Amino acid sequence: MNWGFNWKLEFLPDATEDFDRLDGSQKKRVRKAIKRTLTNPLPRSKGGYGIELGNTGGVNLTGCLEIKLRGEGLRAIYKLIHTRTEMLVIIIDVREDEQVYDVAEERITRYGL
């Protein structure tokens, strides 16, 4: 998916389904947050917008980053693929539900990321 930025945006098929399930206002907010993040999807520690994730609570999301949409109560978890300057969205789901991390880890494993 090309949203007009230097980084190419890709969605896992499951993440596309996540996005499609959102209502219109949620889609608008997620689209806006992803567009903003695409301007610099690097981790905050490197001057970007991404929140680095790691290995906590038995869920290993090391190398993944997160966008929090507090107003919508959503999280989008993504991974940067530096060899192709690609931002790959792994999951978009309810922010308060810690299960989002379990599902992200499962998708990372299933897709060999």
**pLDDT recorded at residue 84:** 65
**pLDDT recorded at residue 41:** 92
- Asked if residue 2 is part of any domain, the answer here is no
- Asked if residue 101 is part of any domain, the answer here is yes
3-state secondary structure of 57: coil
Number of separate domains in the chain: 1
Long-range contacts of 65-69 (CB under 8 A, 24+ apart): 65/41, 67/33, 67/34, 67/37, 68/95, 69/29, 69/30, 69/33, 69/95
Q: What CATH number corresponds to the domain at position 45? A: 3.30.2310.20
**pLDDT recorded at residue 5:** 56
pLDDT in tens, the chain (113 residues): 544 557 889 999 999 999 999 999 999 999 999 999 998 999 999 989 999 999 978 899 999 999 999 887 899 999 998 776 788 999 998 876 678 899 999 999 999 98
- Asked if residue 3 is part of any domain, the answer here is no
Q: Give me the domain span that covers residue 42.
A: 8-110
3-state secondary structure of 45: helix
3-state secondary structure of 44: helix
- Asked if residue 66 is part of any domain, the answer here is yes
Q: Taking the complete model, does pTM exceed 0.85, yes or no?
A: no
